[in-house]
Amino acid sequence: MRVAILTVEFPPTILGGTGAFLQNLASALSKQGIEVVIITGSPERVPRRTITDGMEVVQFPREPLLPRHFWFQFRNMDSIKKELSTCDVIHAQDCVSFPILKLCKRSGIEIPWLVTYHTNPLSELYAIAHRGASMLDYVSYIPGFPLWDMTDRMVLKAADQSVAVSNSLRDELCRSYGLEKQAIRVIHNCINLSDFEKFKNKRTVTGKKIRLFFAGRLYYRKGILHLLRILSSIAGDIGKVDFELQVFGRGPLERSLKHYVSQHNLSSVINFRGHVTRDTLLDSMSMCDIVCFPSLYEACPLLMMEAMAMGKPVVAFDRPFSREMLGNAHKQLLASDERDYALKLLSLMESKPVRLELGRKLILKSQNFDSTKTASLYREVYEGLAR
């Protein structure tokens, strides 16, 4: 079976995100005998075809304009349709399905389409409607919301099968578009668990200082402002504990976050590391005691899966996505508000046995997100569509 995966970003240029998920999925599909061709846009001026880890990658030129997925399709429509016509199933990623899906259907290309949804436009709009977003965020999401919303509505109608990456996202999409739950199947994002065997319960740094870890874009939705306020309370009002936080990432809030740290005398315990390589990021996570994940909205975050696979306790706010990821058995890790987050974090800081026990449970939970399982579920869908 030959499957085309249509996406805006490949190979991945950021840590986490759709590109990283597709790399994990495509690699696992190839190992299961599925012939995978990934079709994507590129800033290069001419099309390029490469073979990477058994996957065929076809990159078409795109313009440096938003929305990027529109431009690489419009500019290369005939070539993309020719590539798609060689496949048994087309697997597209949410809004990247438009306009090519509708045009293929109209032109009589009867290849079934599967569309995976990674987010909900309304939730993204709400997330940037606060201070801490960049000008590009505002330009992309506010004027672009009607187009994105219209695109999702059209694709949900035209696709032969729709998939959401979490139950919470499926529920959001059903509420937004008036759909029944059975209209959208749930298949979670995935990681290659074998990549994390070497990291399980790694902690070679000696000393009493508790190492905390945060990674993500530094803007409102990731909850980094909340985390700094929480750590300020731990260092001050709630109690005394020797800790340090490594912050990985950049974003529009970076300057104000650094100012907050300076103003609240946290410079000695909070270190901004900026962008680093994936290997450096994973190595730092493997050396930490606790992963802080204060995001206010996610669908199915890879970073949380990776922390679980390493056996790291992950402290998060109690949100639909975090309940689904961590499970109800991990209420010690889910906080209702900032003060509750501080108390849960402090409790973990003070008890190594509890941290290790939670870590062991999360390793078991992470098996639900193994790329081999996810690839098998998608292969089942592909085969059903191709009959």
Q: Tell me if 340 sits within 8 A of 347, measured CB to CB.
A: no
Q: Mean pLDDT in the chain?
A: 88
Residues of the chain with CATH 3.40.50.2000: 2-190+370-386, 194-368
Please list, in sequence order, all residues whose beta carbon lies within 8 angstroms of the beta carbon of residue 347, skipping any fewer than 6 positions away: 332, 354
pLDDT of 140: 64
| End-to-end CA gap in the chain | 11
> Measured between alpha carbons, how far is 97 from 115 in angstroms, rounded to an integer?
7
Band (130; pLDDT cuts 50, 70, 90): low
The CATH class that applies to domain 2-190+370-386 reads: alpha beta
Give the residue from 17, 16, 19, 20 showing the smallest Cα distance to 6. 19
Distances (CA, A) of 182 to 154, 174, 187, 205: 18, 10, 13, 49
Query: Rounded to whole angstroms, how far apart are CA atoms 138 and 149?
Result: 16
The answer to whether 151 and 95 have CB atoms below 8 angstroms apart is yes
Residues 35, 87 contacting (CB under 8 angstroms):
no
Confidence of residue 290 (pLDDT cuts 50, 70, 90): very high
Pairing of strands 55-61, 48-52: antiparallel
Question: pLDDT, tens digit, for every residue of 217-262?
Answer: 998 889 999 999 999 998 875 556 789 999 999 988 899 999 999 9
- Calculate the dihedral angle through the C-alpha atoms of 212, 131, 18, 382, rounding to the nearest 10 degrees: 120
How many CA atoms does the CB half-sphere of 109 hold within 13 Å? 22
Residues 10/23, Cβ–Cβ less than 8 Å: yes
- Fold adopted by 194-368: Rossmann fold (3.40.50)
- Comparing CA positions, the residue from 317, 384, 263, 378 lying closest to residue 32 is 378
Nearest to 314 by CA among 275, 369, 268: 369
Give all strands of the β-sheet with 113-117 in edge-to-edge order. 48-52, 55-61, 35-42, 2-6, 89-93, 113-117, 161-164, 184-186
**Rounded distance between C-alpha atoms, residue 380 and residue 187, angstroms:** 11
What is the model's pLDDT at position 289? Answer: 95
Apex 86 CA angle, 85 and 92, nearest 5:
65
Q: Name which residue leads in pLDDT, 107 or 16.
A: 107
Q: How many helices (H) and strands (E) does the chain have?
A: 16, 14
Residue 187's pLDDT is what?
98
Instruction: Quick: pLDDT tens for 68-96.
Output: 667 777 778 888 889 999 999 999 988 77
- Radius of gyration over alpha carbons of the chain, in Å? 21
| Cα-based distances in Å from 223 to 39, 180, 314 | 34, 31, 14
What are the Cα distances from residue 284, in Å, to 65, 103, 123, 319? 35, 46, 31, 26
* Residues 178, 170: Cα–Cα separation, whole Å: 11
Q: Which two tokens stand for residue 73?
A: 């399709």
Tens-digit pLDDT profile for residues 315-353: 999 999 999 999 876 789 999 999 999 999 999 999 999
Task: Report helix angle 352-366 to 302-309, nearest 10.
Answer: 120
Which DSSP symbol is given to 333?
G
* CA pair distance 68, 9, nearest whole angstrom: 10
Residue 253 DSSP class: T
Least confident of 15-19, 21-25, 76-80, 193-197: 15-19
Packed helices 145-158 and 167-177: angle between N→C axes, nearest 10 degrees: 100
